[in-house]
């Protein structure tokens, strides 16, 4: 077994690998950039080595720095995780040349599957069905346009060296092909250093089905069944599950056999995922599932496979890399129950899913109840673990990249955690995961937790009626703005009142009464003879008002009540101190909680976060939506500028393209107008809030 493992990655996957290594008694070495100096994976590893500055190209992507760290710490193996160098054949060769164990497939397999066009040709030769399209060497725009016209629209442009949806564009008509091609090539060049593309027929009712395969260096290849990764946004996976809903035994046999043939065709070793596109217009059929690509690494969504099989795939990787045979034969593997995974991203659905960065002042995830598997030493333990794995009780697993007090930066992928639920029945697993998403409480970074819950709770998803267009077709419903409930607003208003009262008491120590000094219009209070006060406050840009009513007294002190629309919350005085009994969550209200922050209150409800503040603060920080300033929503690099001073533009016209967190984001005109000012140039780096373009209305 490997003695000391260097993990050439960061975040959630590094922590995941460390957990298995600790269980197996393998020492770990973490590497980190300046942005990750205080990250959890650095603290949890046995040793840690700084690689360089925050940008990945200056740290995590520097082969020579990673190898130097391995030599410095005496590591005898390297695990690349996923992303970064995980599918870099040159790096795999360099690791082996340095006398280290590479926890991954041979470099030859990585190269064979690394380019989508050659991989599809290889698979076709091995009898694996492939999607019709264009795989030619001629990459001139004119030839690609001609081939797209021949294939017929809609057509899919895909980066030859791509993955994760980067460098991918769907084109619905010939008129939009050239613009889509340019964007796909730029994104592919930025992400992979290779702007070549291929074209595929776009399947109109596609489902993304993938098969987990494993191979050792003794000639054995097995599959660990399929996963359905159809819920995607911009070709990025959002929710994954195993097994695939609606998969018949005949279709499963066909797709898993094709995946095993694919692995055998390239002399594969270790963990890999063979990805297929299925035409689900008539359900999942074995003769309508086509090879897309093979990911020569562990996948982000591997936990759902672990949960339905009872196996630790990282342990399998380490054992195979150490020269051991696969822990189980194919006939010893079986599907037990159903598992669903949701990717928690630092992004704001209310702003078109723009990434959200900054410090994590509040970061509370649901409590996991999935115990780690027992320590094992080979085949016998693997068999026992699979046989004893529970299938009925709902279990929750949480794999997190960050912790409270940390920071989400612009330099890396915005995924901050994965929530995974397992149960005997699919519906139980889905509902359990939705409930977990509702428990997420993060601030001031925004997340997609409430959006994930909506997806999971949608009747079509609960029925298993899914395809890769699921989110797009229901975008308005799934991303509609939400407001806190009246009951929650009352609780937030009560806390605002308490904050105002405490501030008043601090300023007027000679007047301990909480009403003293709070009247003068700044806080929006009005007090009358009936012992009522009016409180005006702002919740996410919406103005609200509340009544604070004296309700009497008791042994506990004076009693008050805060009323907002149809909701209310109690208040009382204890030893002269205002107290809101509803500050804590209760079993009848499990998804609502409050957090005190500078300038106001954060209300967490059902996965959403709402900032409540008094009106003077709201006015001081309100943005002017009609002043014509188009701001950078996050730090990033300017890709292109489509506006020039004096140019007339219409509402929605693209003005600037910004690249951040590995994705391109188009910034558009907020209204019809004339460009008065441009402060952006291609290649330039900009900070969040920078005025890039200023318009004047026409």
Helix 11-24 vs helix 313-321: crossing angle, to nearest 10? 70
d(CA 334, CA 309): 6
8 A C-beta contact, residue 553 and residue 539: no
β-strands 592-597, 577-579 pairing: unpaired
**C-alpha pair distances (Å), 114 with each of 232, 242, 257, 477, 520:** 22, 25, 21, 38, 68
Q: Which residues contact 480 (CB under 8 A, 6 or more apart)?
A: none
**C-alpha pair distances (Å), 433 with each of 231, 340, 428, 429, 689:** 15, 7, 9, 6, 35
d(CA 108, CA 303): 27
- Give the number of other CB atoms < 10 A from CB of residue 389: 18
8 A C-beta contact, residue 426 and residue 245: yes
d(CA 526, CA 175): 61
**Catalytic residues, which ones?**
297
Burial grade of 435 (CB within 10 A; 0-12, 13-18, 19 or more): buried
d(CA 82, CA 10): 10
Tokens encoding 622 = 């309100």
B/e letters for 305-328, b = 16+ CB within 10 Å, e = fewer, are bbbbbbbbbbbbbbbbbeebebbb
The answer to whether the Cα torsion of 638, 640, 642, 644 is positive or negative is positive
Query: What spatial distance separates the first Cα and last Cα of the chain, rounded to whole Å?
Result: 71
Tokens encoding 160 = 């030859």
8 A C-beta contact, residue 241 and residue 308: no
**DSSP character for 34?**
G
8 A C-beta contact, residue 89 and residue 95: no
d(CA 66, CA 31): 8
Look at the block and give the residue holding tokens 């946004």. 233
Q: Which residues contact 586 (CB under 8 A, 6 or more apart)?
A: none
Tokens encoding 354 = 């723009």
**DSSP character for 85?**
T
d(CA 193, CA 590): 48
């Amino acid at each position: 077994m490997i003695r000391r493992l260097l993990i050439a990655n960061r975040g959630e996957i590094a922590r995941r690998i460390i957990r298995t290594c600790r269980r197996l008694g393998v020492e770990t070495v973490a590497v980190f950039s300046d942005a990750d100096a205080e990250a959890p994976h650095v603290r949890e590893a046995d040793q840690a080595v700084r690689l360089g500055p925050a940008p990945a190209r200056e740290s995590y992507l520097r082969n020579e720095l990673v190898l130097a760290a391995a030599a410095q710490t005496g590591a005898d193996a390297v695990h690349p995780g996923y992303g970064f160098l995980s599918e870099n054949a040159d790096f795999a060769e360099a690791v082996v040349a340095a006398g280290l164990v590479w926890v991954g497939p041979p470099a030859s397999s990585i190269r064979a599957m690394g380019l989508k066009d050659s991989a599809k040709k290889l698979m076709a030769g091995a009898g694996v069905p492939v999607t019709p399209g264009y795989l030619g060497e001629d990459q001139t725009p004119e030839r690609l346009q001609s081939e797209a016209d021949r294939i017929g629209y809609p057509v899919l442009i895909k980066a030859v060296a791509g993955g994760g949806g980067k460098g991918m564009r769907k084109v619905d008509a010939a008129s939009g092909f050239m613009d889509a091609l340019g964007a796909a090539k730029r994104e592919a060049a930025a992400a992979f250093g290779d702007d070549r593309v291929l074209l595929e027929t776009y399947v109109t009712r596609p489902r993304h089905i993938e098969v987990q395969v494993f191979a050792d260096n003794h000639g054995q290849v097995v599959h660990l069944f399929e996963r359905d990764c159809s819920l995607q946004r911009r070709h990025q996976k959002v929710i994954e599950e195993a097994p695939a809903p609606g998969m018949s035994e005949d279709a499963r046999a066909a797709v898993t056999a094709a995946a095993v043939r694919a692995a055998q065709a390239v002399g594969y070793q270790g963990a890999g995922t063979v990805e297929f596109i299925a035409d689900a217009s008539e359900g999942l059929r074995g003769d309508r599932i086509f090879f897309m690509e093979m990911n020569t690494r562990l996948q982000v969504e591997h936990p759902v496979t672990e949960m339905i099989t009872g196996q630790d795939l990282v342990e399998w990787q380490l054992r195979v890399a150490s020269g051991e045979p696969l822990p189980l034969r194919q006939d010893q593997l079986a599907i037990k129950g159903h598992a669903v995974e949701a990717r928690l991203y630092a992004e704001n659905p209310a702003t078109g899913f723009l990434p959200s960065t900054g410090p994590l002042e509040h970061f509370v995830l649901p409590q996991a109840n999935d115990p780690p598997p027992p320590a094992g030493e080979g085949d016998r333990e693997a068999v026992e673990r699979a046989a004893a794995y529970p299938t009925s009780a709902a279990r929750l697993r949480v794999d997190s990249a960050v912790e409270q007090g940390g920071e989400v930066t612009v330099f890396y992928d915005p995924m901050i955690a994965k929530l995974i639920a397992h149960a005997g029945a699919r519906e139980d697993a889905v509902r359990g995961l939705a409930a977990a998403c509702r428990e997420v409480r993060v601030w001031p970074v925004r997340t997609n937790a409430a959006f994930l819950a909506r997806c999971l709770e949608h009747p079509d998803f609960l029925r298993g009626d899914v395809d890769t267009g699921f989110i797009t077709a229901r975008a308005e419903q799934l991303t509609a703005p939400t407001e806190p409930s009246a009951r929650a607003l009352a609780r937030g208003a009560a806390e605002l009142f308490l904050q105002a009262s405490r501030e008043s008491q601090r300023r007027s120590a000679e007047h301990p009464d909480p009403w003293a000094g709070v009247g003068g219009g700044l806080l929006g209070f009005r007090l009358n003879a009936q012992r009522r006060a009016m409180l005006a406050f702002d919740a996410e840009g919406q103005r609200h008002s509340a009544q604070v009513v004296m309700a009497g007294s008791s042994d506990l002190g004076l009693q008050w009540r805060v009323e907002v629309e149809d909701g209310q919350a109690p208040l009382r005085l204890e030893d002269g101190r205002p107290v809101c009994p509803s500050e804590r969550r209760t079993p009848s209200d499990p998804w609502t909680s409050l957090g005190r922050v500078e300038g106001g209150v954060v209300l967490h409800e059902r996965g959403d976060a709402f900032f409540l503040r008094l009106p003077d603060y709201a006015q001081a920080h309100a943005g002017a939506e009609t002043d014509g300033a188009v701001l950078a929503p996050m730090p990033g690099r300017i890709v292109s500028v489509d506006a020039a001073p004096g140019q007339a533009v219409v509402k929605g016209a693209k003005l600037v393209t910004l690249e951040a967190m590995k994705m391109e984001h188009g910034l558009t005109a907020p209204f019809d107008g004339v460009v008065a000012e441009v402060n952006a140039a291609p290649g330039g780096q900009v900070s969040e809030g920078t005025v890039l373009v200023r318009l004047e209305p026409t």
